Amino acid sequence: MSQLAVPSADHALVAELLSNSVAVDARVREEAYARIVELESRPTFLATLIDVAYLGDAQISKLAFICAKNALARLRGFAAIRAASGIDVDSMDPALNILMAKLLSVFEAHLKDETKVIGKDFALLVRKVCRKYYPQNWMPMHDLLVRGVEAALSDPVTSTRTFNCVFLLYHIFKEKSTLRLMRDRNDVAQLAEVLYPLVSRLWVKHWLERWSSGSLDALKFASNVSNADMELSRYLDSLVIALYTRGLRNVYQRTELLELLKLIFVKMKLHMFLLQSDISSKEKLQKNSRRLLRGVTEMLDKEPMVFAFVDPSVALNPIFDYLAVGTIVPVISQCMEVLCAAFKSPIVNNDRYMNQFYAVHGESDGLRASRKPREAQFVVCATFDEMKSQCEMAASCTRGSSVTSSFKKTLSPIKGSYNAIGTIAEHMSRQATFFFWECIYQRGGLLQLLDFLRDKYLTLDAEAIAEWSEEIVPLDSPPQSLAQPVIEAMKVTGLPILNWIAESIVGIDCRSNFSKLDSYLILYSIAYPSLANYHTSKHYLTILGAFKKALSEFDSTMAKLLIYRCSGIVNAWAERINLFEEQTKSELMHYLVSCLCFEGDSVAAVNLRAQHVVPFHCLYSKTIDEPFWDFLRQDSDVQRIMASLVHIAKINAPVIQHRSIDLLCKMCLEYDTEVNNFGHQLSDVLAVLSDGPGDLQLSASLLQTSLGFLNSIHWRRYYVEESYINGHLLRFLFHLLFRTVVVGSGTNDQATQSCQRLLQLCKYAELEEDVLMLWICLLRVLPRKVDTADHELLNNALSLFPLLIAYLTDRHHGEQPGEMRVSVASPMAVDVVTEYLAVVLDLSKSRLSSAGSATGMVDPSGGIYERSGEVWFQLTGSTSCSVAFSVSQLQSLCVEALKRPDGDPLSQCGLRLLSMLTCGFGRFCVSSANLLMHMHDVLLNFFVTLNEAAILPENAPQEYQRLGAVCLKNGSGMDSTCKWQVATVSSDVLNNVSSVIPIICRWGFDAPASFSEALIRVLGSGRFSNMDAILLSLLQVSKKLVNNAYLRLGALICCCLIVSTVASHYSGLNLFVLHGEGHGHDGNPETEKEGFSNNPHPDLQGVYLPCYLLRLVHPIAPLYLEAKRAFCFSTTKASLMEGGPTYVLPPSKRLHIFTNASSTYQSTNFPIIDLSPQELFLGALKSTVSCIVSLSQTLGDRGVQRSAELMFADGARLHAKLREVLEGCTSGAN
């Protein structure tokens, strides 16, 4: 081309760089890319790339255009950055100016050369430039395109120049129409108005004038239309349709636009007719036809209002005609997309009007006919102006006012306001819907269309069925038929349609005409959501009977597909089962049972059982409490069902496995009796774990099913009646755990005293959280009564305890060198250890020996013994269960967890473990220097939290000020040094303190000397100026622990232990609690409403601390002694995985019992398990009162005069049982 530069050295360099940019050697590629980026800074580089594209070979040309588009994108990015910074926003980059000039010159060369068709790469580069700069900043290109189209109007034949103009113009307009800002949309609309006159005239000249005779002679078409004509026709059609759907506004109002649109549809009709003949240009014709069909779809989607004045039958009838005889699948698919768009359109198929235009009645050739009743008052308007004048006339007659179209000027009118009743838009939608349904009725009606689509395009060919059936149990949907999206879009409804489908399903012989039956089953599956409300019990039972008959006669080659269809329909029924009649539910249940219990090992039999597990699970889950299931208790079917479910669980299909195992667990719990013993079936499921590649999926299914089942148990009932959980199921769940954790052989080492070692918590890291949660749940449901427990099961479960301790304390797999493995494990693993410790303490009945030396070294038969320099405990004796573990290793594990910062989940787990250790092995804990150091830290944090919880009244939030203020004083007159604080604490303080109370109490009870030393050391650290804030905050914690009486009493015991220790070392303590007046509240309502006085002591202000502690005990006693309240259990929710189901961990009765006893009892070496809840609470009450009495005596010994008398100031007002306990403790102390 003359406009291109002569090859030069720069051209050769760029060509070489482009070639090297795709070299095999990575170094060569990187060097070439770096050099190309460097050259991009030259203003002439983009123009040079265009020259190289036309001077080089095809590969270099492709690379040059790709490089140019990338460089242009970077250039526009830099321009956007400058614009955002306000720098040089009005001027264009010199490189861009040079590129635009080069592109223009190349296009001019194309227009002059009749032999050169413009390349697509060139067009794509031009459209990228035009996106921002065309036409305002590139008028030479616009003028050149316009002149080219104008010149084409005078050309007698199709020229390459005409094609190049249309091709480039189409790409430019398509790019501009993707802009979304309103300013850009307005520009696109103006550009469309400029282009449409020229393009429409060219379209008329090119097509209409040539075929004005309307001849559909295929031979004449083949001889007169060249490939160049077809190519131009395709892009010309695309450009016109793009102008209609993306540029021109108010198309429905402009008659000239509608007339050309009708001609386009006529052209499509000719194309669709010619496709049915055998002509040489059929491939080009097919492309053009598909382009026109896409144009109809776009019109239905973006400009549906035009069909109020352009009869859609002009476009739809050729489509129906082709669907009747056509064979080209891509064209058929495009036709189906048109029908989908029509049925989904809210304008062409308006739900408010469609029912006015058809009724179903009569009989015609065995098929109910659908006909449209003409409305006498319905008048068709030919144009928008005519409709508008009629609407205005009608409005003026009824209201004396005119109506407006209320349309917004948008890119697509469908985005305007079309929903207001009475507007022109409503009339247009009504008329478009009328035309659409009239087209359907003229071709036989809705049922006729349904039957046609079903018969021709809803069936699957044998090859597709065979490919789908390759799986043993196919679970994926079969290939979608061509008509399925159309029928889904139709949303067919009405009793006549339901009756027609149901009668057809019943009347077809499966053996002789399976494909026809399959098409009706597909049709029923699609239509069921909209037909469900028309069903009666007769419909369901009739169709169910047809299923039974068909399944008894199925052909083995089509068996899988038939079973899949039937099970899918039954599952859809089961989803709505609560709306069915009792008889229908019962029949459906019997049908599913017969499918599950079908005998045989053939492929069809396996599929019949497997495919019906999901609907059976759905039915069982939704109707489990209904009486029709009772027949399983009187029949052997339940045995057959369980046996069948075991076999189904072996199929490598996660959904089916999960449902079958869930059914096994639920039905075992419901139907297991002495007659129906399902232990064997549950055990058989575990054997599947070791089979095949589905191990991970099956393990996940088993674990999640088990957790879901445990989550549904009524825990309060279980704690009263331990036999509530089926023993077979419990063994099954434990065996599932044993098979999931990875245990290998090992040396008989000092850590475990076993020849085994724990290798992994789970075979699959993805399921580790599930395994740990199941582990915790199972330990919490172990029977507390040894005589009711399965000793073999207990021994197997307990054997994992020392292995787990050794696994977590292994120092070769920590986060850092020398750290234990627990640092990288889930915090729930520590909770498993804590639960194990609670189980061991429970089974031993707390028979921990109190004899022996300070280190607790006693005879092994007593439980505690020394081995290799470590403290060990062995559970043996009457329990018939044996396990030995290292207490020293447990202490080390606890220390590692407590090293984590406050708030870390592992640190919280460490506190729970420390609570259990101090409960069972308190004196051994203080003998460990490392653990004792961390217990000092726990005590320090305890005091810091209480000290920081004190809020000054003047700094308190408004909601705290109304609660009043409190202080401690010496009992004499008003002291200006009293430090008032708000009489409450926050919930965060409550949570942090309550988790430490059991540890503090046990430490103070079991090792008073060690506790006293630690307390004095903490107070001597200089962080606390006085004890008042700490003691008052601790008293407020006790008041707020209303849901746990034991922790409430434990807080009071902590107060006694602290004051007793401090009073022994310091004098001048403030021991009188005073509720201030004028600090937001007068007096203390909690005491006044019980009849207590704020000043019960003569000549003293405030309430003596031991007396005040008794007041706090007073309201607790009647709640548990008179109302006989049991324990308060809590639940902790934990998510299995992100986005997965949330399960509730069962409350641990053992942890609650030991925590409660630890917080209140002075000694835990007694059979706690044998006490009733009331007896346990009474003992806690006596222990608390004993501590208060001991505190009073200690204070009396330290100089508080009349201490005992002051403590009894409220004696007459205390609860009778509390007075009795107080008198007993006082006399015992004396």
The predicted model gives 121-150 an average pLDDT of: 90
What is the per-residue pLDDT for 789?
61
Among 71-85, 311-325, 927-941, 1124-1138, where is mean pLDDT lowest?
Answer: 1124-1138
Q: What is the mean pLDDT of the chain?
A: 81
The letter for the amino acid at 940 is: L
Using DSSP, state whether 849 is helix, strand or coil: coil
The predicted model gives 691-710 an average pLDDT of: 66
Q: CB pairs under 8 A, 24+ apart, for 676-682?
A: 676/638, 676/639, 676/642, 677/728, 678/642, 678/728, 679/727, 679/728, 679/731, 679/732, 681/642, 681/643, 681/645, 681/646, 682/728, 682/729, 682/731, 682/732
Residue-wise pLDDT tens digits, 412-450: 433 333 333 347 888 898 899 989 998 998 888 888 999
Beta-bridge mates of residue 760: 742
The predicted model gives 152-169 an average pLDDT of: 87
What is the per-residue pLDDT for 1139?
45
What is the per-residue pLDDT for 1080?
40
Q: What is the DSSP string of 527-579?
A: HHHHHGGG--HHHHHHHHHHHHHHHHS--TTTHHHHHHHHHHHHHHHHHTGGG
The predicted model gives 262-287 an average pLDDT of: 84
Q: What does DSSP assign to residue 470?
A: T
What is the per-residue pLDDT for 1055?
94
The predicted model gives 386-394 an average pLDDT of: 83
pLDDT band at 880 (very low <50, low <70, confident <90, very high): low
User: For a pLDDT cut of 70, what percent of the chain falls above it?
Assistant: 80
Hey, which of 217-226, 611-620, 1170-1179 has the most confident mean pLDDT?
Answer: 611-620
Beta-bridge mates of residue 883: 875
Among 616-630, 712-726, 1216-1230, where is mean pLDDT lowest?
Answer: 712-726
Q: What does DSSP assign to residue 439?
A: H
Residue-wise pLDDT tens digits, 843-864: 876 444 333 333 333 333 457 8
Q: How many residues does the chain have?
A: 1230
Q: Who has greater pLDDT, 1067 or 276?
A: 276
What is the per-residue pLDDT for 364?
39
pLDDT band at 1027 (very low <50, low <70, confident <90, very high): confident
User: For a pLDDT cut of 90, what percent of the chain falls above it?
Assistant: 28
Query: pTM above 0.85?
Result: no
| Residue 478 confidence (pLDDT) above 60 | yes
What is the per-residue pLDDT for 863?
76
The predicted model gives 790-808 an average pLDDT of: 85
Q: Who has greater pLDDT, 7 or 1098?
A: 1098
The predicted model gives 36-45 an average pLDDT of: 86
pLDDT band at 405 (very low <50, low <70, confident <90, very high): very low
Q: Which residues lie below 8 Å from residue 1196, measured CB to CB, with a gap of 6+?
A: 1203, 1204
The predicted model gives 780-806 an average pLDDT of: 78
Closest to 585 in 3D by CA, of 627, 640, 636: 627
Contact assessment for residue 893 and residue 808, using Cβ atoms and an 8 Å cutoff: yes
Q: Who has greater pLDDT, 1068 or 1140?
A: 1068
| Residue 407 confidence (pLDDT) above 70 | no
The predicted model gives 1057-1064 an average pLDDT of: 89
Q: Is 1178 exposed, middle or buried (0-12, 13-18, 19+ CB in 10 A)?
A: middle
What is the per-residue pLDDT for 376?
44
User: Per the structure block, which two tokens stand in for 424?
Assistant: 């022109």
- Residue 362 — left, alpha, or beta (φ > 0 → left; ψ -120 to 50 → alpha)? left
The predicted model gives 286-294 an average pLDDT of: 93
| Residue 1043 confidence (pLDDT) above 70 | yes
What is the per-residue pLDDT for 996?
93
| Residue 219 confidence (pLDDT) above 70 | no
Among 249-253, 301-305, 743-747, 887-891, where is mean pLDDT lowest?
Answer: 743-747
What is the per-residue pLDDT for 692?
44
The predicted model gives 737-762 an average pLDDT of: 72
The letter for the amino acid at 707 is: L
Report CA dihedral (1075, 1077, 1078, 1081) to the nearest 10 degrees.
Answer: 70
The letter for the amino acid at 847 is: R
Cis peptide before 135 (omega within 30 of 0): yes
Residue-wise pLDDT tens digits, 297-332: 999 999 999 999 999 999 999 999 999 998 899 999
User: Per the structure block, which two tokens stand in for 1090?
Assistant: 């019980």
